[in-house]
Amino acid sequence: MRFANFVKAAALSATALWLAGCASTGGQSTSGVDKTDGAKPVETIIEVKPVLDPAVQAVIDTGVVKATPEQIGKLLNKTTYNFAFDSSKLKDLDYKALDVQAAYLNSREGRGKQIIIQGHTDERGTRTYNLALGERRANAVKNYLVAKGVSAGRIEVISFGFEKPLDPAHTEAAWAKNRRAHIVTN
């Protein structure tokens, strides 16, 4: 039982490490838990608590998101939202991620942050119409966040149309990648 708990803790800690992306989160410096496989139990006394990325923890603490820390971490990392051609409609899967983004921005951790939402399009259509379309995409994201309680004054929308493609190729795949709204948190 103790052992099982240990494995669980180690695995969580490893997840936290992975989520944090680096050792900036204190607490997991306990020796012997530096391998992700968790298959090498070491005698050292275990004081490892599930240590989470503070952002993930902050989202959990708001109590509005029902998801595992792992899922929350993933959704927090989702800052890019893709769209169909000539559309500024969010997809069903995006709402869950935006719920997490909103929860974070409303949390004690994210409360003071300003964000910029960039709107981008593919290269089809006219350059100036696409500037307007890019703004609609960014506004779709903004409006959802505002509906979830984020103050509109903290959100700036900037449309780049198709001036900044991720992929400059003239292919369906490149176009799909380039049609996006992107959240930048300061």
Partner 1 sequence: MIKAIHRTGSLRAKDTIVRFWLLAVLVSLQIFTSSAHAILTIEVTQGNDKAVKVAVAPFSWEGERLLPEDLSGVVDNDLKLSGLFAPIPRAEMLSFPSKASDVVYRDWSLLGTSYLVTGRITQSGSIYDVSYQLYDITQQKRIATGRFRGVESQLRNLAHRISDAVYQKITGIPGDFSTRILYVTAKRWNVDRTDYRLNYADADGQRQREVVRSREPILSPAWSPDGSKVAYVSFESGRPAIFVQELATGKRDKVTGFRGLNSSPVFSPDGKWLALVLSKGDNPDIYVKNLETGKLSQLTRSFSIDTEPDWMPDGKSLIFTSNRGGSAQIYQLGVQPQADGTMTADDKPVRLTFKGRFNARAKAFPDGKSIAMVHKGKGAADFNIAVLDLDTNRLRMLTSARLEDSPSVSPGGRRLIYAVQGGEQGELGIVTADGRVKYRLPSAEGDVREPVWGPARD
Residues that bind partner 1 (CB under 8 A): 86, 123-129, 131-133, 135-136, 139, 156-161, 163-166, 168, 170, 172
Nearer to partner 1, 103 or 133 (CB): 133
What's the CA gap between 53 and 20, in Å, rounded?
5
Query: Structure tokens of 2?
Result: 């103790």
Minimum gap (Å) between residue 125 Cβ and partner 1: 6
Minimum gap (Å) between residue 87 Cβ and partner 1: 11
Nearer to partner 1, 58 or 182 (CB): 182
What's the CA gap between 158 and 179, in Å, rounded?
14
Minimum gap (Å) between residue 159 Cβ and partner 1: 6
Residue 30: burial class (beta carbons within 10 Å; 0-12, 13-18, 19+): middle
What's the CA gap between 68 and 85, in Å, rounded?
33
Q: Cβ distance 174 to 82 under 8 Å?
A: no
Nearer to partner 1, 28 or 139 (CB): 139
Nearer to partner 1, 18 or 85 (CB): 85
Minimum gap (Å) between residue 103 Cβ and partner 1: 24
